[in-house]
Chain A
Amino acid sequence: MCLAVPGKVLAIEDRDGTRMATVDFGGVVKEVCLEYLPDLRIGEYAIVHVGFALQRLDEESARQTLELFENLGMLQEEFGDPWEQAAAEAHGPEPVGGDTGTAAREVRP
């Protein structure tokens, strides 16, 4: 939850008086509120935390961070099914390692 993930703005629209964007996180697309970065434009990158764009980011550092997160399985942790994760922790086998890179690759388009 504490993870802030860089994403690229694909589209922007006003919804019920709130500025919202469609944002691509290395293949996972989510709705993001732009109220805290109102001048963010289509094609730009931002650090997004729990559905809110918090700070602009340049493309190069955004791309590097996304690649790193993907390799480390952190995107899967952030965007995967939390019920499945909780169930796996509650009933599944003991975790045997931190390398969830294979699972993370599934979030790619």
Chain B
Amino acid sequence: MKYIDEFQDPGLAGRLLDEIRATVTRPWALMEVCGGQTHTIIRHGIDQLLPDEVELIHGPGCPVCVTPLEVIDKALEIASRPGVVFCSFGDMLRVPGTGRDLFQVRGEGGDVRVVYSPLDALRIARQNPDRQVVFFGIGFETTAPPNAMTVYQARRLGVRNFSLLVSHVRVPPAIEAIMRSPDCRVQAFLAAGHVCSVMGTGEYPELAERHRVPIVVTGFEPLDILEGVRRTVRQLERGEHTVENAYPRAVRPGGNPSARAMLDDVFEVTDRAWRGIGVIPDSGWRLSARYRDYDAEHRFAVSGIDTREPAACRSGEVLQGLLKPHQCEAFGTDCTPRNPLGATMVSSEGACAAYYLYRRLELPAPSREGSSVV
């Protein structure tokens, strides 16, 4: 196995795999929610090391991938306006909107800047009082608190030329939507560890109970994934469905209370569209009424955009775990990381990109017996 040395502790990995094999008696389908976990799984070939009975289904947890095309188009429109400095995380640069991306907007003269932190965007606003500085606020519960704090600081410091283009999404309603889908095959979830670092585990027991589905909070290093799978399979085999925390070094039950308080202050829950999936009720945040002045959509009145999804792209099915990336007809031919049709191919956390970058190179699949960890 190419990356097996990087398991940190191959002995422990082997023991976890042994235990999973000894426990499993029939087929189970687990969904890893987080795109970071998907990459670890594909990169290390964890899906190939696991017994055949354990199938890993990739979830919708890539923030770049699920940002709707309409929001990308709004970003492109705002970024193209004179007098605007448009700030974004680097991985949004090549996400295709209808016809172009932020990288091209900069090439056409737009002032698009990449920042490491939303606070960098606020600093740019304070240094350029005659410009309108807009930050592209996407992401899950891990990224929302930094963006919330930045808006709070903008208000506290009286910075008027700063605004946020908000497209934040929440994990639990996505789990709910996946479980409600008539095509759902998912029997257990590896929940996203860093989301729970902020939110804690309090949102999950009710979900686990109602859908009778085990939820194991999991980190995204190889050993974390194996431990998450081990605990999930153990629950499934015993007919249990509880919430377990397999990532205690970063997740406290209550999460980060001050981050959660700031989220409640700055944002309010709203319905959100997920790219390729559609609207999921209560699945996102928007700025709450007292921060509406900082909402870029209000400030720039972006409308009349003609949004067109590429017909060939099946990323919606990929994001819901209904289709594996290589089963898409365009995969690796019309659609590559260099010429992506969908966000799941362009984002470094997207499932299509993970398959393209790692899976192809490992064919034919390494034999289980030959691996050094077993």
Tell me, yes or no, whether A binds B.
yes
Q: Which chain A residues have a beta carbon within 8 Å of chain B's beta carbons?
A: 1-4, 16-18, 30-31, 33, 35-38, 47, 49-52, 54-55, 57-58, 61, 64-65, 67-68, 71-72, 77, 79, 82-83, 85-87, 89-90, 92, 94-99
Do A2 and B337 touch across chains, with their CB atoms under 8 A apart? no
Inter-chain CA distance A51–B87, complex, in Å, is 15
Do B149 and A35 touch across chains, with their CB atoms under 8 A apart? yes
Do A16 and B117 touch across chains, with their CB atoms under 8 A apart? no
Any chain A CB within 8 A of the CB of B17? no
Do A51 and B117 touch across chains, with their CB atoms under 8 A apart? yes
Inter-chain CA distance A96–B143, complex, in Å, is 30
Do A89 and B338 touch across chains, with their CB atoms under 8 A apart? yes
Do A33 and B143 touch across chains, with their CB atoms under 8 A apart? no
Given contacts A50-B143, A55-B197, contact A82 B90 (CB under 8 A): yes
Chain B interface size, as a band, is 35 or more
Additional pairs, 8, CB under 8 Å, beyond known A4-B194, A51-B117: A1-B64, A47-B197, A51-B119, A71-B6, A77-B348, A82-B114, A89-B346, A94-B338
Inter-chain CA distance A65–B62, complex, in Å, is 21
Do A2 and B249 touch across chains, with their CB atoms under 8 A apart? no
Given contacts A36-B256, A51-B116, contact A1 B91 (CB under 8 A): yes
Prevailing SS type, chain A contact patch: mixed
**Nearest A-chain residue to B156, judged by Cβ:** A17
Do B338 and A52 touch across chains, with their CB atoms under 8 A apart? no
Do B8 and A36 touch across chains, with their CB atoms under 8 A apart? no
Q: Which chain B residues have a beta carbon within 8 Å of chain A's beta carbons?
A: 2-3, 6, 8, 34-36, 43, 61-64, 89-94, 103, 114, 116-120, 139-140, 142-143, 145-146, 149, 153, 156-157, 194, 197-198, 221, 249-252, 256, 258-259, 262, 336-338, 346, 348-349, 356-358, 361
A and B contact pairs by CB, cutoff 8 A, 9 listed: A1-B64, A1-B89, A1-B91, A2-B140, A4-B197, A16-B157, A36-B256, A47-B197, A99-B2
Do A98 and B34 touch across chains, with their CB atoms under 8 A apart? no
Inter-chain CA distance A36–B157, complex, in Å, is 18
Do B197 and A36 touch across chains, with their CB atoms under 8 A apart? no
Indicate which residue in A49, A54, A86, A96 contacts B94 across the interface (CB closer than 8 Å): A86
Do A49 and B146 touch across chains, with their CB atoms under 8 A apart? yes
**Nearest B-chain residue to A82, judged by Cβ:** B90
User: How distant is A15 from chain B, measured CB to nearest CB, in Å?
Assistant: 10
Do A98 and B258 touch across chains, with their CB atoms under 8 A apart? no
**Nearest A-chain residue to B142, judged by Cβ:** A49
**Nearest B-chain residue to A88, judged by Cβ:** B338
Chain B hits for A36, CB < 8 A: 145, 149, 256, 258-259, 262
Inter-chain CA distance A107–B35, complex, in Å, is 24
